[in-house]
Amino acid sequence: MKFKFNIKREAKIFAALLAAGGIIAFTEGRQEGLVVGDVRVKMDNVHENHFLDERDILSLMEFDQVAMKGARFSDVNMREVERKIRKQPFIQDAQLYSDLKGNIIVRAALRRPVARIVRNDGPDGYIAEDGTIMPVSDKFTSRVVLLSGSYVPTLLKQKSLGQTEEGRQLMQVIEAIRDDEFWAAQIAQLNIDKKMRITMLPQVGNERIEFGKPERIEQKFDKLMIFYKEILPRMGWNKYSRVNLEYASQIVAE
């Protein structure tokens, strides 16, 4: 295979690369003598989860008690600031960049909670839609399904439900509730014992729903829907105190 050398074309490419390099060098050299004019925070918060505000983000950007505003650009490690902000469990992602006026723009995306871990002997926590375990906030309370029981201290020791197979299975149950309009409105709480057996408590009705371990999840929800659609309308919403879904082909109701 033969290559043709085109002097004009190669000269244009070289000139373009030289110009791009000059712009980068000029920008970096210009920023060496610049100070940060302002720090502006843009919150990407589609689901209106107000766990953090702009002041909280700005406080995460301080180094040795010296605010970034007014610091020289040459003294600002943008990647380190991004890393520090991303360590906050409420934040899913963070990006920092500067504009032509010398301002630093912080764009932060917040995680969305899908369940709240509650217990009597310690602080609560949230589970985000990506499985991350988050603390509670005194600024905002999210209306999501509650998780209680002797298993929840184990959850609070983890950084994410994705760390274990049991956690991933539990996340599938939470997602099945969140993604269905009826279950999201009807299932109020999941009580989980040490053996990972789940008992569901409904918003309407007095029955305890014995879901069992987070296995055959779709099949169990299908049986529970039959219970709500076909059995309760005939027998009455307060007729039963217990419903068991653990048997493969049966619904046991008392």
Length of the chain (residues) = 254
Distances (CA, A) of 235 to 137, 198, 205, 244: 43, 25, 12, 17
> Which comes out higher in pLDDT, residue 117 or 30?
117
Confidence of residue 195 (pLDDT cuts 50, 70, 90): very high
Tell me how far apart the alpha carbons of residues 108 and 120 are, in angstroms, rounded to a whole number: 33
What is the architecture of the domain spanning 39-110?
A: Roll (3.10)
Give me the residue label for tokens 């659609």.
229
User: For the chain, which residues make up each domain, given as ranges?
Assistant: 39-110, 113-253
Q: Is 50 exceeded by the pLDDT of residue 74?
A: yes
CATH class of domain segment(s) 113-253: alpha beta
* Helices 165-178/217-226 angle, 10° precision: 30
CA atoms within 13 A on the CB side of 55: 1
Tell me how far apart the alpha carbons of residues 56 and 45 are, in angstroms, rounded to a whole number: 15
Confidence of residue 221 (pLDDT cuts 50, 70, 90): very high
Distances (CA, A) of 241 to 93, 207, 237, 247: 45, 4, 10, 18
> Which comes out higher in pLDDT, residue 71 or 186?
186
> Which comes out higher in pLDDT, residue 10 or 52?
52
pLDDT at 1: 44
Q: Is 70 exceeded by the pLDDT of residue 66?
A: no
Tell me how far apart the alpha carbons of residues 65 and 73 are, in angstroms, rounded to a whole number: 17
Mean pLDDT of all residues belonging to the chain = 81
